[in-house]
């Protein structure tokens, strides 16, 4: 739980543009039909120059 909060705080700090202009996050979501039912996944990414931070979730 602490790790999730720490990651969330780091992403929030990076997204607010603490060292310059605000960085717009990119996001994507996918829902697909498989032989076992529906599958969903999502991704949020922050890009600043050569550095990218990505957080993905799938179930």
DSSP letters of the chain? -HHHHHHHHHHHHHHHTTTSS----EEEEEEEEETTEEEEEEEEEEEETTEEEEEEEE-
Contact at 8 Å (CB) between 38 and 59?
Answer: no
pTM for this one? 0.53
Q: For residue 18, what are its two tokens?
A: 């603490």
pLDDT of residue 3: 85
Report how far residue 27's alpha carbon sits from residue 44's, in angstroms, rounded to the nearest whole number.
4
pLDDT tens-digit readout, 14-33:
766 556 677 788 999 999 99
């Amino acid at each position: 739980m602490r790790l999730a909060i720490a990651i969330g705080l780091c992403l929030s700090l990076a997204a607010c543009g603490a060292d310059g202009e605000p960085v717009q996050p990119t996001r994507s979501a996918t829902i697909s039909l498989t032989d076992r039912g529906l599958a969903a996944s999502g991704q949020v990414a922050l890009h600043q120059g050569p550095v990218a931070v990505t957080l993905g979730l799938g179930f």
